[in-house]
Chain A
Amino acid sequence: MYESTWLFCLKRIITLPFVLVGVSLITFIFVRFVPVEPAEVILRLSRIAPTPEAIQALREELGTDKPMFIQYIIWLKGVLAFDFGTSFVSKLPVGQEIFAKLPATIELAFAAFSLIIGCSIPLGVISALYKNSIVDKFVGFFSIISVSIPTFWLGFLLLYIFSLKLGLFPSNGKGSLSHIVLPAVSLALPVIGLFTQSIRTSVIDELQKPYVNYAQLRGLKKRIIISRHVLKNAAIPMTTMLGMTLGNLLGGAVIVEQVFSWPGLGRYLIESIINRDYPVVQSYVLIIAIIYVVANLCTDILQRVLDPRSAVMDRRD
Chain B
Amino acid sequence: MNLKKNVYPLMLALIMVVLVGCTSADDRHSKTQTDTKNEDKILTIGWPLDVGPLNPHTYLPNQMTAQAMVYESLVAYNDDGTISPKLAESWDISDDKTAYVFHLRQDVNYSDGTVFNADNVIRNFDAVLANRDMHSWMGMVNHIKEVVKVDDFTVRLQLDEPYYPVLNELAFVRPFRFLGDNGFPQQDATYESIQAPIGTGPWVLTDYKKDEYALFSRNENYWGEKPLVNQVKVKIIPDSESISLAFENEELDVIYGRGIISLDNYTFLKDSGKYKTAISEPLSTRALLFNTQSGPLAELNVRQAIQYAINKDQMVESITHGTEKVANTLFWDAIPYANIELTPILFNPEKAKQLLDEAGWLLKEGEKVRAKNGERLELDLIYIATDAIQKPMAELMQGELAKIGVQLNLEGADVMVGLQKLMENQVDINFWRTNGPPTDPHSFANESATPNASGVYEAKLGLPNAAEMDEKIHQLLIGTDEVERVQYYKDILTMLHDQALFYPISYETNNVIYHEYVKDFLPRASEYDIPFAQMDLGN
Do A and B pair up? The answer is yes
User: Chain A residues in contact with chain B, CB under 8 A?
Assistant: 34-36, 40-42, 44-54, 57, 89-91, 100-101, 126, 130, 133, 135, 156, 159-160, 163-164, 167-174, 176-178, 181, 258-261, 263, 267-268, 270-271, 274-275
Given A45, A167, A260, which contacts B242 in the complex, CB threshold below 8 Å? Answer: A260
Q: Shortest distance in angstroms between A49's beta carbon and chain B's nearest beta carbon? A: 4
Asked if B136 contacts A54 (CB within 8 A), the reply is: yes
Complex CA distance for A45 and B62, rounded to whole angstroms:
11
Which of A46, A52, A101 is the one whose CB lies under 8 Å from B211? A101
- Asked whether, in the complex, the Cβ of A168 is within 8 Å of the Cβ of B23, the reply is yes
Among A41, A170, A259, the residue within 8 A (CB) of B416 is A41
Complexed CA–CA distance, A177 and B192 (Å): 38
Q: 8 other contacts beyond A126-B3, A164-B249, A274-B414, with CB at 8 A cut-off?
A: A46-B59, A50-B453, A51-B453, A170-B249, A171-B251, A178-B25, A263-B211, A270-B238
Query: Which of B49, B135, B416 interacts with A44 by CB under 8 Å?
Result: B416
List, in ascending order, chain A residues with CB within 8 A of B211's CB: 101, 263, 267-268
- Which residue of A48, A91, A156, A160 contacts B192 across the interface (Cβ within 8 Å)? A91
B210 touches A170 (CB 8 A): no
B414 touches A36 (CB 8 A): yes
Whether A163 and B238, one on each chain, are in contact in the complex, defined by CB atoms closer than 8 angstroms, is no
* Residues A167 and B60 in contact in the complex (CB < 8 Å), given A35-B417, A160-B245, A270-B238: no
| Interface window among B178-186, B304-312, B444-452, B494-502 | B444-452
Question: Is B3 a contact partner of A130 (Cβ separation < 8 A)?
Answer: yes
Q: Is A48 within 8 A of B242, CB to CB? A: no
A and B contact pairs by CB, cutoff 8 A, 8 listed: A48-B134, A50-B453, A90-B61, A135-B3, A167-B30, A178-B26, A267-B238, A275-B60
Checking A52, A172, A268, A270 against B251 with a beta-carbon cut-off of 8 angstroms, the contacting residue is A172
Complex CA gap A271/B238 in Å reads 10
CB of B249 within 8 A of CB of A47, answer no
Given A49-B453, A181-B22, A259-B60 contact (CB < 8 Å): no
Interface positions, chain B 415-454, Cβ under 8 Å from A, are 415-417, 419-420, 435, 447, 450-454
Give the CA-CA distance A193 to B49 in the complex, in Å: 34
Q: Are B25 and A163 in contact (CB under 8 A)?
A: no
Separation of A263 and B135 alpha carbons in the complex (Å): 32
Q: Which of B190-245 contact A (CB under 8 A)?
A: 192-193, 209-213, 235-239, 241-242, 245
Q: Count contacts on B: residues with CB < 8 A to the other chain.
A: 54
* Shortest beta-carbon contacts, A-B, top 6: A46-B59, A49-B453, A263-B211, A36-B416, A178-B25, A48-B137
Q: How far is the CA of A160 from the CA of B242 in the complex (A)?
A: 10
- Give the CA-CA distance A91 to B192 in the complex, in Å: 8
Given contacts A46-B59, A47-B59, A171-B246, contact A57 B452 (CB under 8 A): no
Taking Cβ atoms with an 8 Å cutoff, the residues of B that contact A are: 3, 7, 18-19, 21-23, 25-26, 29-30, 49, 52-53, 59-61, 133-137, 192-193, 209-213, 235-239, 241-242, 245-246, 248-249, 251, 414-417, 419-420, 435, 447, 450-454
A47 to B61, CA, bound (A): 12
Decide yes or no: A126 and B29 within 8 Å by CB, A36-B417, A171-B246 being known contacts.
no
Contact A44 B242 (CB under 8 A): no
Q: Are B452 and A258 in touch, CB under 8 angstroms?
A: no
Select from chain A the residue with minimum beta-carbon distance to B454. A49
Q: A36-B417, A48-B59, A168-B19 are in contact. Are A159 and B136 (CB under 8 A)?
A: no
A260 → B minimal CB distance (Å): 7
> Which of B19, B133, B242, B447 is the most central at the interface, judged by chain A CB atoms within 10 Å of its CB?
B242
Q: Are A261 and B235 closer than 8 Å at their CB atoms?
A: yes
**In the complex, A167→B209 CA distance in Å?**
25
CA separation between A92 and B143, bound complex, in Å?
A: 32
Q: Give the residues in chain A near B451, CB-CB below 8 Å.
A: 51
- In the complex where A172-B237, A172-B251 touch, is A47 in contact with B22 (Cβ < 8 A)? no
Q: Are A46 and B26 in contact (CB under 8 A)?
A: no
The answer on a CB contact under 8 Å between A49 and B416 is no
A266 to chain B, nearest CB (A): 10
| CB-CB nearest in chain B for A45 | B60
Q: How far is the CA of A34 from the CA of B416 in the complex (A)?
A: 11
Q: By the criterion CB–CB under 8 Å, are A57 and B133 in contact?
A: yes
Tell whether, in the assembled complex, residue A164 and residue B251 are in contact, meaning their CB atoms are under 8 Å apart.
Answer: no
Residues of B within 8 A of A53 (CB): 133
CB neighbours (8 Å) of A41 from chain B are 416
**Cα distance, A267 to B50, chains bound together (Å):** 11
- Report chain B residues within 8 Å CB of A133: 3
A261 and B134 contacting across the interface, CB-CB below 8 Å? no
What is the CA–CA distance of A34 and B417 in the complex, to the nearest angstrom? Answer: 9
